[in-house]
Chain A
Amino acid sequence: MNTINSFQFRTDKEKRMIYVEKHFDASGPLVWRTWTEPDLLDKWWAPKPWKARTREMKFEKNGFWHYAMVGPEGECHWAIFNYNSIEPERGFSGSSAFTDEQRSSTDGPVSFWSTVFDSSAGRTRVKIDIAFEELAALETMIGMGFREGFESGLQNLDMLLPGLS
């Protein structure tokens, strides 16, 4: 059993927080690239069979990552991550929301993220803390088809998941 790379996922409903953690057998600089370069993010960010497609990214303080989650039927959910702070190879924070193709509105649910990288001896731990404003935000997300959209994908995913560490 591969416990050393095991994936941790904890929730604190009272604080409206989700904590995610995972170790990777790769150096800090390499893992950092996969989170901060659009062509690399596009390769892993969307859960199968969805695909992430970056429209525009400005990885800098007060910058943003504007991307689409594209489903197997071509359905498209636009999302944006706004960067509040960046400490190269240490971590970044910001907020995540739904938007549209023109980034003209972000009136959907918002969550606040802090992603921290720690590496030593060629291994890197990634910790993500996600804070939700309120359940109303989650409900909007569900209402916007987030759950349905992903669930159709996740039916296939369920078959893959037992193979994960």
Chain B
Amino acid sequence: MKRDIFQAIADPARRAMILLIAGGTVTQHALAEHFDMSQQAVAKHIGVLIDSALVKKTRTGREVSYTLEMQKLDELEQWIATFRSIWASRFDQLGELLTELKQENP
């Protein structure tokens, strides 16, 4: 099931997990040590991160580790940056238009 990235980052524990994974804490066991919750609960949160494609799971022998999908986060940042630029451009034009209108109707 594909999940929403916002749903993934809505939970404070998951936000902390994203930071830990980004910081290099990559096994489930190592992650669980940072949280006052069961291994099962940690696994569930990681499941949400994986479903939202924010985190990728890799298995090496018996060891399961996690890495961050930076591309997914970048996409979001890029979209937001684009949106910001659109508003900056709009407001520049609106400012010019208002100056013109004020001159026409002093």
Contact = CB atoms under 8 A, between A and B. Distances in A.
Interface of A: 5, 7, 9, 11, 13-14, 16, 18, 20, 22, 24-26, 30-31, 33-34, 40, 43-48, 132, 134-136, 138-139, 141-142, 147, 150-151, 154, 157-158, 160-161, 164
A44 B90 contact: yes
A161 B91 CA distance: 11
B92 to A, nearest CB: 5
Given A43-B93, A164-B88, A151 B98 contact: no
B89 A160 contact: yes
Contacts of A26: 98, 101-102
Contacts of B89: 47-48, 154, 157, 160-161
B76 A135 contact: yes
Interface residues of B, number: 31
B93 to A, nearest CB: 4
B88 A44 contact: no
B27 to A, nearest CB: 27
A7 B92 CA distance: 10
Contact of A47 (B85, B101, B102): B85
25 contacts: A5-B95, A7-B88, A9-B84, A11-B80, A14-B10, A18-B80, A22-B91, A26-B101, A30-B101, A30-B105, A31-B98, A34-B101, A43-B97, A44-B90, A46-B90, A47-B86, A134-B6, A135-B4, A142-B75, A147-B78, A147-B82, A150-B82, A151-B82, A157-B85, A164-B92
Given A34-B94, A48-B93, A147-B79, 20 more contacts: A9-B84, A11-B80, A13-B6, A14-B6, A18-B83, A22-B91, A24-B98, A25-B98, A26-B102, A34-B98, A43-B93, A47-B93, A150-B82, A150-B85, A150-B86, A151-B82, A154-B85, A157-B85, A157-B89, A161-B89
